[in-house]
A and B are shown apart, each in its own frame.
Chain A
């Protein structure tokens, strides 16, 4: 038990807490476990559905702990914030105590350690003294290596050099990149938003439906001028795109095409082609067959607008369109519900299913009526988002990849060039070691040997 522990100030205690690896393990495990929970419990769903699946007691519990919008709730954000602080303080703590070891003023070289390995290159030079060779080599060493020094040895001289101490910072870059990503995520969740709009072809909207149910004005009118859908022969959608206009104060300030994977960026908002859907048909053609005279005639109309019967006999109003039409225990599928108003008679309900064109014969009325819907109308579904944290997150991505590469695949290199005087001939032996038992690529050493030989080669 450290006597000083009792005297640890609050700041020191706090620092030690935030700098501990145990805290990291706890937070990471908590994030992992709760994330799994978030994939098992469906997120952002309908409360009624949850009540049905989980029953009242479990539902109340899960609701109280925010399990249904887990990834945006306060405790999840708190865990992320805790992780950010943990990583930063851990890094500062570690780096400040190991900086002197990573970047010592006078690096240590042990000739014996080098000589335990086989020289990577060796050659001899006649006609020059050891000092001459040293003077020839040093400019090359100065150019290629961050640090060098020359030491005398019994047989002559040895040039020690090294570079790449900075690669030990790679691991801090990796951790900093995690911090960047998390900060970017927090910025996005705090200042960003995301919502959907459905725009029938030809119409416009100016308000966005956000995920949490609230609305947000766009600040402009977004109009869908045209929606195009192309299909493969199999019927599956091949491509769908919208042609839009952005309208401010009644004037179109921008026109653009939006397709999947190709959003429109406008004033910090990103507008994505996310989905589409079919709208109930508005226009139709009604076919009347007069059962008495045998004559038939057709009229075109619009939903809700009365169609005049010939010879001023009354009017026919197509009131509603249903996708699924119940009828005496059967489902007729898509149908129009209409009202036939004949002069001098009670109004009659007429059901005109699209799949059964002779259905109306059963009614036994003066006319047998059938109907054909007009051209399909679509609405286009846009996802509109704003996320100021994205550049920060992307910076994190890049930094992590660079950091991982430096940490795993680069290391400090130490080189030792032994210059030995052997009866007037200088014998050069080049040794190289890398930290962490890495292997220095042969190409690097060969290139160095080649360059040194160019300065003072075999003679």
Chain B
């Protein structure tokens, strides 16, 4: 029993949770919804356990480090944090329908990780051997996950608001647009705070390692662009009273920037490349 095996099993469990969330929504039955939540909790717990196990395994190999250092580890960690945030919202708001849009995300992330990313435990190159690694990656990914949840909720918003009859067909089980809007705001606020801490810890670390708290490399620049977009969202809401559809659109744009910051910059050269 090693962490790789657990991650593989967890991927499938995430997949099953998706099936049950969708069934519960389409067939409007309670039992599949409950099962979906149980499966998601199981998957997230397994995910966390495997992460801790992988941490332990790296020490067994002689070059121990927190499993936050490459694409595979970051995707796996993102899946866990995202699921945790979503489960918290589901518990608080007692609605299962949002699981339809939320549960595919950790499943897709884990599937992509196992297919495309290198899962070997590698030792850390000297530049990554620092305690700042944990603080920086942790806070950045908390931010990313919150923005991803906001993104999912915004998609649900479009779906709910797309028909004048807000209760037609599958829309009935989706929470009210006011609730979705409020949740989007909370997730954006939470994500903004953590992204800020993430950028700051990254800067301080860079200053320690390379003598520069900001070198305009593509990852840093795009994380700033992401931050500016979400700052714009907060200003639009507080200063201009924007809500509902306009905020949902901005939230989707913001998440596109998150995706580019996370994946896109690896296509551009720079210190942050996962290569």
Contact = CB atoms under 8 A, between A and B. Distances in A.
Interface in B166-225: 189, 192-193, 196-197, 200, 203-204, 207-214, 216-218, 221-222, 224-225
A99 B61 CA distance: 61
Interface in A386-406: 387, 390, 393-394, 397, 400-401, 404-405
Shortest Cβ-Cβ A-B pairs, 5 listed: A385-B211, A260-B126, A39-B218, A397-B200, A261-B130
A390 B210 contact: no
A35 interface: yes
B125 interface: yes
Contacts of A185: 214
B209 A260 contact: yes
A261 B127 contact: yes
B239 interface: yes
B209 A272 contact: yes
Contacts of B225: 32, 35-36
A238 B123 contact: yes
Interface string A399-424: 01100110010000000000000000
Interface string B100-143: 00000000000000000000001101110110000000000000
Given A236-B123, A238-B126, A404 B216 contact: no
Given A39-B268, A263-B208, A390 B189 contact: no
Contacts of B221: 35-36, 38-39
Contact of B228 (A32, A194, A263, A273): A32
Interface in A194-247: 194, 232, 234, 236-240
Contact of B126 (A36, A42, A239, A387): A239
Contact of A404 (B130, B192, B210): B192
A445 B180 CA distance: 29
Interface residues of A, number: 43
B129 A261 contact: yes
A263 B126 contact: no
A77 interface: no
Given A236-B125, A260-B129, A383-B210, 13 more contacts: A35-B225, A36-B225, A39-B268, A238-B126, A261-B130, A274-B210, A387-B213, A390-B213, A397-B204, A400-B196, A400-B200, A401-B200, A408-B193
A447 B185 CA distance: 30
B43 to A, nearest CB: 30
A316 B241 CA distance: 85
Contacts of A149: none
A404 B123 contact: no
Nearest to B123: A232
17 contacts: A39-B216, A39-B268, A42-B269, A194-B211, A236-B125, A259-B126, A260-B126, A261-B208, A263-B208, A274-B211, A393-B203, A393-B213, A400-B196, A401-B196, A404-B192, A405-B193, A408-B193
Range, interface on chain B: 35 or more
A272 B208 CA distance: 8
Interface of A: 21, 28, 31-32, 35-36, 38-40, 42-43, 71, 185, 194, 232, 234, 236-240, 259-263, 270, 272-274, 383-385, 387, 390, 393-394, 397, 400-401, 404-405, 408
B92 to A, nearest CB: 12
A359 B182 CA distance: 77
A42 B209 CA distance: 23
A281 to B, nearest CB: 25
A376 to B, nearest CB: 18
A198 to B, nearest CB: 16
A397 B203 contact: yes
A354 to B, nearest CB: 28
Contacts of B126: 237-240, 259-261, 273
A10 B268 CA distance: 47
B232 interface: yes
B131 to A, nearest CB: 9
Interface string B39-81: 0000000000000000000000001000000000000000000
Contacts of B192: 404
Contacts of A262: 208
A238 B63 CA distance: 9
A21 B269 CA distance: 36
Nearest to A36: B225
Given A28-B232, A232-B123, A272-B211, A401 B224 contact: no
Nearest to A271: B211
B196 A404 contact: yes
A194 B123 CA distance: 30
Nearest to A25: B232
A404 B211 contact: no
Nearest to B186: A408
A234 B120 CA distance: 13
A384 B193 CA distance: 33
A236 B204 CA distance: 26
A194 to B, nearest CB: 7
A385 B224 contact: no
Contacts of A232: 63, 123
B222 A39 contact: yes
A43 B269 CA distance: 11
Contacts of B228: 28, 31-32
Contacts of B214: 185
B152 to A, nearest CB: 21
B124 to A, nearest CB: 9
Given A28-B228, A397-B203, A43 B123 contact: no
Contacts of B122: 236
B181 to A, nearest CB: 14
B195 to A, nearest CB: 11
B125 A237 contact: yes
Contacts of A21: 239
Nearest to B209: A261
Contacts of A272: 209-211
B123 A408 contact: no
A273 B192 CA distance: 33
A132 B86 CA distance: 51
Contacts of A237: 125-126
Nearest to B214: A185
Contacts of B212: 194, 385, 387
Contacts of A263: 208, 211
Nearest to A21: B239
A35 B207 CA distance: 21
B216 A43 contact: yes
Contact of A394 (B204, B216, B217, B269): B204
Contacts of B193: 401, 404-405, 408
Given A397-B200, A400-B196, A404-B193, A390 B207 contact: yes
